[in-house]
Structure 1
Amino acid sequence: MISIKRAARDGFQYPCTRELTVMATRLIEYYPMLRDKSAASGAEWEPVKKQLLKRLQNVTTPKKKQGATPSRKRPRSLSFQSSQETSTDETDGSTSSTVILERSPHSRCSTSEVEELDVKYRNSHRTTSETTESLQNQARHYKTLQEMYKTKARPNRKDVSQFLDLEFQVRWAFIDSDSIKEQDRPTKILQAYPCFRELDHIMDELRRILDRGNSHFIPDLKTRWGTFYEKAQFYAVFKKVMKAPQQDKVKHSLAMIKALPDMFPSPVAPPKKLGHASEAMFHVLESKEDPNTSLQMRPLLSPVVIVCKTNCLLAIGTMPVVTFPKEDIYVSVMYLMACYYAFHLTYPKCIATLLSVLQTEVLLDTIHDKDMTSSYKKSMIEWKKFITD
């Protein structure tokens, strides 16, 4: 903070109260755990500001080397402000006396100077925020994240999300490393990050990968999926792979999901044990069928949704991950796509065309040239022609 002030002007002056307020506000934005939630509205930064002021009082200005003619500026001295003066200078109306460094009359900051300092702080913070998070600091964040799950089964979602943001780089160095085989990757990741047994964190990881700075990514994604879903219903009827929409939303969603691989077919047939290609994504349990037994018999290690009588189970390979209400089967396709991204998994060949279409049309994620197979190109041409006619 003092370095910024020294760089901002030729004649260095200690930060004024307004500048301390700006700094305290920025600090609690970056570190929400510093907020004083018990304070009155708008004064969550007050404890941080007091700490900054206390620290500032202990700062000694470095002495410059004197030349032949020493500088004869008036030395700084300590002055005591009365409670009345302090209350007019402080924004919180404090009645206690404060020891501050004496400033010359022109050293008080104007509003424009405070705004200028705020902009400089934002810019410097924006350019250095990623570089300052060294691997050592990120490892420390990971350790804190682990401790949170040791003390609580489900820690505060926002706190966990913040730590996941801070150690994103080191996490993906671990996930993308060659030392972990793809078939072992989901197990290793869930052991290291139990938070990914929650749908909110899986979807949030998808946001970090595709559009990290967009806080509205998930709502926008669900909107795009809804638009795609509505058009795909007519496309399925047009291609004669699904009957007219049913009144039961769950049954209609299941019929729609089952028709998706037929709308965007892949040239590779699914394993014989699966039967239909949609079984690579969804499996509806029969009346006497056990979900664990069904998972153990699966020939694929890809994410899958097991539809039970009362709820749905999201699993990866043979490993159950999380359950969710049966009414959410409509958006479960996005849960599957998020798992492919969060756990860094390869698309099964029998539904690769469908997932590639969802990747480009719904997730808006570009596809590599080598993944643009002839079946993908053909499906996209037919799809674009249908929605534009």
Structure 2
Amino acid sequence: MSNKPADINSPDTHCPATLAKHYKTLQTLFKRKNPNHQDVSQAFIDSNTIREEDRHKKVLEAYPCFKDIGHVMEELHRILDKDNGNFINELKGRWQDFCQKVQFFGVWKKTLKPPMGMDQAEQALEILRVLPSLFPSTSAPPKRARDASEALVHVLEDQEDPNTYLMKRPLSCPVLIVSPSNCILAVGDVPITMFPKDEVTEGALYLMAYYYTLHLTYPKCVATLLSVIQTEVLLDKIHERDLTSSYKKSMADWNAFIGQ
């Protein structure tokens, strides 16, 4: 069973010659002084012509625009609801509403404490840490990962070097690496982009945008959680074959809690 955030295939995109031609076009577009992101957003990323382990490196080499979070969010917009000009604002609103409910859900489950005296970034990090346990998968994280939240976020310890951490990391999925002042979003062992720490409140949306843009498979240890975010926040339906028992149980518990 595969957990894919998007299944976007075109019969015209499978030819390597077509792919190479398209890469060249995209590189030309983005090298312009003021690239038209709408033109660049017509890009395709053919998930069948590049091995998933190499995909992020190949794609980012061909599409340097995807090192820009704003552009990756626009790509998510294009994939999910391209005709809705207010999509990004609506998405952020749904994520904020989801997090508020998760805060109460976590307190009820005794995995979160009431956020007294915490700033928004600290609250967001606590939510990211507990989300995998609130919407658990049946698969355990790799042995060298402390827990499933390492598939989402890692807060650097004193004197810990982010590059050293990435080289040792047992997971290859997108991750947020948080320092006292900023966040690095990385895929595999490659740092992609950096943003201010206070934007970690939207960090999960950035991760989802990279899953969709790069056509990456959800890691098994957080597949349930990411599927819940996909359906509840992104409002993107899951294929019937990916409706796992853990997803169904998590959604039943969640809907019972929020009264649906």
- TM superposition score normalised by structure 2: 0.88
Match of 2:39 in 1: 163
* 1:40-119 equivalence runs, <5 A: none
Match of 1:289 in 2: 160
Distance in 2 of aligned mates of 1:383 and 1:249: 23
Are residue 332 (structure 1) and residue 207 (structure 2) matched? no
Give the alignment partner of residue 65 of structure 2, picking from 187, 195, 199.
195
2:56–2:187 contact (8 Å) kept in structure 1: yes
Gaps of 5+ in 2: 1-14
Match of 2:5 in 1: none
* 1:208-357 equivalence runs, <5 A: 208-247=78-117, 248-357=119-228
Shift of 1:146: 2.1
What percent identity do the matched residue pairs reach?
A: 52
Shift of 1:368: 1.0
1:184 alignment partner, SS class: helix
The higher-RCO structure (CA 8 Å, 6+ apart) is 2
1:246–1:252 contact (8 Å) kept in structure 2: no
1:315 alignment partner, SS class: strand
Distance in 1 of aligned mates of 2:244 and 2:204: 22
Distance in 2 of aligned mates of 1:364 and 1:254: 23
Are residue 182 (structure 1) and residue 52 (structure 2) matched? yes
Distance in 2 of aligned mates of 1:140 and 1:264: 42
Match of 1:206 in 2: 76
1:215 alignment partner, SS class: coil
Give the alignment partner of residue 146 of structure 1, picking from 11, 15, 27.
27
Shift of 1:162: 1.9
- TM superposition score normalised by structure 1: 0.60
Deviates more, 1:358-367 or 1:137-146: 137-146
Deviates more, 1:376-385 or 1:137-146: 137-146
Distance in 2 of aligned mates of 1:272 and 1:141: 40
Shift of 1:151: 5.3
1:305–1:314 contact (8 Å) kept in structure 2: yes
1:142–1:163 contact (8 Å) kept in structure 2: no
Q: CA RMSD, aligned part only?
A: 2.1
Equivalent AA in structure 2 for residue 164 of structure 1: V
Identify if the C-alpha distance between structure 1 residues 272 and 140 changes in structure 2 by more than 3 Å, giving closer, same or farther. closer
Shift of 1:138: 11
Q: Which has the larger radius of gyration?
A: 1
Question: When the two structures are aligned, how many residues end up with a matched partner?
Answer: 244
1:274 alignment partner, SS class: coil
Shift of 1:179: 2.8
Shift of 1:198: 0.1
Identify if the C-alpha distance between structure 1 residues 192 and 236 changes in structure 2 by more than 3 Å, giving closer, same or farther. same
Encode CA deviations 1:229-258: one digit per residue, 9 max, x unaligned: 111100000111111113222222111111
1:226 alignment partner, SS class: helix
Shift of 1:140: 7.9
Distance in 2 of aligned mates of 1:179 and 1:142: 13
Identify if the C-alpha distance between structure 1 residues 138 and 340 changes in structure 2 by more than 3 Å, giving closer, same or farther. closer
Are residue 367 (structure 1) and residue 256 (structure 2) matched? no
